[in-house]
A and B are shown apart, each in its own frame.
Chain A
Amino acid sequence: DIQMTQSPSSVSASVGDRVIISCRASQAIYSWVAWYQQKPGKAPQLLIFAASSLQTGVPSRFSGSGSGTDFTLTITSLQPEDFATYYCQQTINFPLTFGGGTKVAIK
C-alpha cells in the first residue's frame, strides 16, 4: 500500500494568512494526488485533483503543486470558512489511501 504522510497535523492561522500543507507519498505517484476539505459534521469536499487541477466551484485561493513523492496544498489569504481539516489522497494505485489529515484552526 502507498502511505500518505501529511504535515503538520495541525496549524493555527489567522484570517488573511497563507497556509501551506504538505503531503508525502511512500513511493513516486507522478501527479496522482487529490486534496479534500472536511468541516465538522460534513462530508469531505474535493478541492484539487491531479495535484494541481482545481475542482469546479472551488475558490482560486486554493492551489496544489508537486509531483513524484512531495505535494503541497496552499491556501492564500485564509478565509473564515476555510477553517477545517484537509486530507490528501493518492489515486494511482489500489487500495486508494489518504493522509492522516491537517486541521487548520483559528489562532
Chain B
Amino acid sequence: QLQLQESGPGLMKPSETLSLTCTASGGSINTSRYYWGWLRQPPGKGLEWIGSINYSGNTYYNPSLKSRVTMAVDMSKNQFSLELNSVTAADTALYHCARLPQGHTNRDVFDIWGQGTMVTVSS
C-alpha cells in the first residue's frame, strides 16, 4: 500500500521560500495512472488545493497561488516537491501531499494522503 510522508521546515519568517518534499513508499510515483498533489489547511479552517504534478512534470496550479508556486518530481528519490515563495502569515497551515487517480470516474479525487506537516510563518 502506497504511503506518503511530507517533510518541511516547520517555522519560517515572512518573505522566505517554503520548500516541502513528499516521499512515497510502497509504490512508485513514476506512473501515468496518477497525478501527485499538494493541499493545505489553515488551523481550524477548510481545505485548499495548491497544485498537482504528474510523472512527466505536467503541472496544474491554483490560480490564487500560481505566481508563487513551483512543483517538481524527482523519480530517483520517488519524491515530489513544492516551493512557495514570499510567504506571509496567511500561508500558515498544515500542508498535505496526496495522490490523484486519473481513472475515468475517480479522476482528481485525493485517495491517499500524507499525515501533513505544519508550517508556521512568523517574524
A43-B96, A95-B62 known; A89 vs B109 contact (CB < 8 Å): yes
A55, A96, A97: residue with the most chain B Cβ atoms closer than 10 Å: A96
Closest CB-CB distance, A70 to chain B, in whole Å?
A: 19
- State the majority secondary structure of interface residues on B: loop
| A interface residues, tally (CB under 8 Å) | 23
- B residues near A43, Cβ cutoff 8 Å: 96, 98, 113-116
Q: How far is B106's CA from A53's CA once the two chains are assembled, in angstroms?
A: 9
Measured CB to CB, the nearest residue on chain A to B97 is A43
Q: What's the nearest-Cβ distance from chain B to residue A71, in Å? A: 14
Asked if A25 is an interface residue, CB under 8 A from chain B, the answer is: no
Query: Does A83 count as interface, using CB distance less than 8 angstroms?
Result: no
**Residue B123 interfacial (CB < 8 Å):** no
Partner of B108, one of A45, A96, A98: A96
Dominant secondary structure at the A interface: loop
Residues in chain B near residue A1, CB distance under 8 A: 63
Q: How many A-B residue pairs have CB under 8 A?
A: 54
Number of interface residues of B (CB under 8 A): 22
Question: Would you give the shortest CB distance from B79 to chain A, in whole angstroms?
Answer: 18
How many angstroms between the C-alpha atoms of A99 and B47 in the bound complex?
8
Nearest residue (CB) in A for B96 is A43
Interface residues, chain A, CB within 8 Å of chain B? 1, 34, 36, 42-46, 49-50, 53, 55, 87, 89, 91, 94-101
- List 13 additional contacts besides A89-B109, A94-B60; criterion CB under 8 Å: A43-B96, A43-B98, A44-B96, A44-B110, A45-B113, A49-B109, A53-B106, A87-B47, A89-B110, A91-B107, A95-B49, A97-B49, A98-B48
